[in-house]
Structure 1
């Protein structure tokens, strides 16, 4: 008998990010998501349509990987990978206060910093293989 385990913080973030059908419909939705998970600082964050497009491409790419098998959309994966390739992250020397994700954003732009934190969560989910539990 196995004991059910609670998904980690990174897995919860990714699960909510990929299930974001309605809440990434516009820039205000993206701002709400980034604030909900404290991926950006409080205050006004200017979000461009390009920022929203990147967030949606990243979400769709992760969603395609999680779908796996015949349902995998290689174009969505490629667009998501392009977003990841453009995000700068750095490895933390020491874990943060939460001990959540060992990758930290290395970008100045507030929205891209939030997306870099999503990328760090995705890396943690891949490393711990929790992504398998998130598959649809």
Structure 2
């Protein structure tokens, strides 16, 4: 008998983001994903084409890195585009993250879409730090 394991909230978010595939086909889909995962507030979210492109680049890079565990070669260009997105997201570390926060890393940006992407980046940092990323299959 095996012991069931439960994914952390960070791993659950990364898993959902990596698996969006065709479900992340346009800006409305991105808004829906960000709202469904409570990464943004409920108000209107103006999403530019650049925002959407960044989200897709980040998703593709995360997916490529996750697939590399199973032996799939990760395209260096895909990883570089995703890294550029991560490099552009501002984060801060909270002394006391609170019970609801999946990470002590919190967005330090005011734009709703970038704040949502920063929350995904924080979840990625958590799964990297814990090694959980190796258990997420795509």
Q: What residue number does 1:40 align with?
A: 40
Q: 2: CA distance between counterparts of 1:127 and 1:104?
A: 16
1:89 aligns with one of 63, 77, 91:
91
Q: 1: CA distance between counterparts of 2:72 and 2:106?
A: 33
Aligned length: 136
Q: 2: CA distance between counterparts of 1:116 and 1:70?
A: 26
Q: 2: CA distance between counterparts of 1:48 and 1:54?
A: 10
TM-score calculated relative to the size of structure 2: 0.93
Q: What residue number does 2:65 align with?
A: 65
Which structure 2 residues correspond to residues 23-34 of structure 1 after superposition, within 5 A?
Answer: 23-34=23-34
Q: 2: CA distance between counterparts of 1:72 and 1:82?
A: 16
SS at match of 1:98: coil
Q: What residue number does 2:56 align with?
A: 56
Report the CA distance between 1:23 and its aligned residue: 1.9
Q: What residue number does 2:16 align with?
A: 16
Q: 2: CA distance between counterparts of 1:116 and 1:66?
A: 19
Q: 2: CA distance between counterparts of 1:78 and 1:15?
A: 20
Which structure 2 residues correspond to residues 94-109 of structure 1 after superposition, within 5 A?
Answer: 94-109=96-111
SS at match of 1:124: helix
1:80 aligns with one of 79, 82, 103:
82
SS at match of 2:106: strand
> Which is further off, 70-79 or 1-10?
1-10
Q: 2: CA distance between counterparts of 1:34 and 1:112?
A: 10
SS at match of 2:10: helix
Report the CA distance between 1:97 and its aligned residue: 2.9
Q: 1: CA distance between counterparts of 2:134 and 2:60?
A: 17
SS at match of 1:90: strand
Report the CA distance between 1:99 and its aligned residue: 4.1
Report the CA distance between 1:2 and its aligned residue: 5.0
